Amino acid sequence: MTVPTTFRERYALGKSHRKHLRRAEHAGWQPKSRRVDPLKLLAESVRGRVPALIPIKYDRMAASPFGFFRGAVPIMASDLSLGSNSGIHTWLCGDAHISNLGAFAAADGKLVFDLNDFDESIRGPFEWDVKRMATSLILAGREAGAKKSLCRDAAHAFLSRYRISMHSFARMPVVQLAHHLVHRLHAVAPISQILEAAERATPAHSLEALTVPVADAAAGDLRTGSSEMISRIGGKQRIFKTLPPVLTRIHGALARHILDSLPTYAESLQPERQHFFAQYTPLDIAFKIVGTGSVGLRDYCIYMQGNGADDPLFLQIKEETASAYASYLGVHGEARHQGRRAVDAQRAMQFESDPFLGWTTIQGRDFLVRQLNDHKAGVEMQQLRSAGLLEYAAVCGETLARGHARAGEPAVIAGYVGTSTRFDIAIARFAEDYANQTDRDWESLLHSRRQTTKAARKETASSKTALSDAVPEKKAAGKHAGKSHRAHHKLKKKKR
């Protein structure tokens, strides 16, 4: 088969994919098509995680339908796989929702706004990301207290901007697309606030938020990961705070395994960044709970110091397992190293990535490595109550389109979605139906938790009843035994 090279050929190829799945067929959601109980899928997805932390994941998912949605990628991956798809594959964010876009510092120190979570990334049908982002806008809008009509309008604003942007990207020179920035960000109220928060999230701020001077630490907290680190911690140095269960310091063998993984991580960096990283010294290590979907996976933080105490570097070493979509995509789901998979997707889709982005392996588990909290900030729900939701939705559309265009074939995607609103209308209908399904799934989770609590209370009550029933018998037995003993004593006196 001849590979299409011109814009017209690629556009026509995309248009031909409508034969696989008409645009109108993206509309709606059929719950009856489900083959597996969604709560069972959730339970299966947490196997291998830290058991003590799994209840925290469920607590966060139980907080709201949007909280449930954030942790329910395995459910949506299964649901999306049930129907046909466009057959147009690109790198997917995999967990495209409004809270997985945010501000962070680029290599030159400037703030950028982009997709920032690629734990579920994989090559797959482009519309799966689009459907998930559109659904998240409706759920987030509802949580923020926006009217249903505004939530629907936000989904349409996102879809319209995605489609229009994709057509623009499809005609851009390649280098121009690679350098494209989303403009007018400071004019969008929610994003302006995100950028202001990111300005304040400096390494010095992280130092105050995450660490404490050694002199102020409890005596039991002064253990370090290795004998090498002990000599580096003096009276003026700092160590991680102990804030269980969210932040806990790590000692002993595990800390040494984490330190031993750093040379492998350094090799994953670009050469000039290896040189910069070599100038930092590790001072302390902690375990940190982050997000919703990731809770229960191993997430380590290393506090490092470069050119003095005022030059901190915080690295996040985040466990990566196979994407929730992998089993549904066959060969598209294969990956040699899950941390590298996430890095490859991030570098492909982002305008500019974290200069310390890399990967490593610890005790046979794959990890992604990146900076923690370096000028990072995300959207707050209260910012999405009115017009801010529409403005934010439009930026989400352009940002996701840019990611897909950078990592895939923009002309092919543009050819498929077309210039009419047919694709928009269909996806918007799906998003609203799936948001309603998420509400029902959330209610099922709450019901399951109530039933579990009720059963536990019933079992406790039964145990107490059984115990109380047993106690009188013992008292009665003791009473009869006492009478028998006194009778025996009187009989002996008579015999005398």
Q: For residues 39 and 145, give the distance between their C-alpha atoms in angstroms, rounded to a whole number.
A: 27
**For strand 122-125 and strand 89-92, is the pairing parallel, antiparallel, or unpaired?**
antiparallel
Q: Please choose, from the candidates 309, 87, 357, 72, the residue with its C-alpha nearest in 3D space to the C-alpha of residue 211.
A: 309
Q: pLDDT band at residue 260, thresholds of 50, 70 and 90? A: very high
Question: Does residue 374 have a pLDDT over 90?
Answer: no
Question: Does residue 26 have a pLDDT over 70?
Answer: yes
Question: Does residue 495 have a pLDDT over 50?
Answer: no
Question: Other CB atoms closer than 10 Å to residue 231's CB: what's the count?
Answer: 9
For 82, phi then psi, to 5°, come to -70, -25
Q: pLDDT band at residue 217, thresholds of 50, 70 and 90? A: confident
pLDDT of residue 471: 59
pLDDT of residue 17: 98
pLDDT of residue 496: 43
Tell me which amino acid residue 457 is: R
Question: Does residue 386 have a pLDDT over 90?
Answer: no
* pLDDT digit string, tens, across residues 69-113: 999 999 999 999 999 999 999 999 999 999 999 998 887 888 889
pLDDT of residue 493: 47
**Token pair belonging to 359:** 């990967």
Q: For residues 351 and 354, give the distance between their C-alpha atoms in angstroms, rounded to a whole number.
A: 10
To the nearest 10°, report the CA torsion of 204, 209, 214, 219. Answer: -170
DSSP assignment of 273-309 equals HHHHHTT-EEEEEEEE--SSTTBTB-EEEEEEESSST
* Mean pLDDT score across all residues of the chain: 89
Here the contacts of 429-433 (C-beta below 8 Å, separation 24 or greater) are 429/27, 429/28, 430/26, 430/27, 430/28, 430/29, 430/131, 430/134, 430/135, 431/131, 431/134, 431/135, 431/137, 431/138, 431/155, 432/138, 432/151, 432/152, 432/155, 433/28, 433/29
* pLDDT digit string, tens, across residues 262-312: 999 999 998 999 999 999 999 999 999 999 999 999 999 999 999 999 999
With left for phi above 0 and alpha for psi between -120 and 50, is residue 57 left, alpha or beta? alpha
